[in-house]
Amino acid sequence: MNVVAVGTRVVGVWGAMIADYYGTVVGHTDAGVPLVEWDEWCESPGLHQYRIVDRPSVNGSPIGVWTRESYHAFTLRREHGVAA
């Protein structure tokens, strides 16, 4: 498992015209799954467990929780027509 460091900034990409959410990894579960605290999350405050992705799914969907650096690199490649 790729462990994401505490303090890493992340982006939640939910699709369906839902705005991206921004947050921070604040810890890990016993299984090593990152715990994310979102900057703004009205529906469900508190910590949430997510697998952090660093590439789109096999069908090219960017939905998931990314490190900010990985998501920024992905969006630049997509804007310039470079395959992910």
Q: Which domain holds residue 51?
A: 9-79
pLDDT at 72: 87
* 75 lies in some domain: yes
Exposure string over 11-31, b if 16+ CB within 10 A, otherwise e: bbbeeeeeeebebbbeebeee
Our count of domains for the chain comes to 1
pLDDT tens-digit map of 18-72: 888 899 999 998 988 888 888 876 555 566 778 888 888 888 888 889 999 999 8
Distance CA 75, CA 18 (A): 17
Cβ within 8 Å of residue 40, ≥6 positions away: 21, 22
pLDDT at 8: 95
pLDDT at 44: 58
* 57 lies in some domain: yes
* 38 lies in some domain: yes
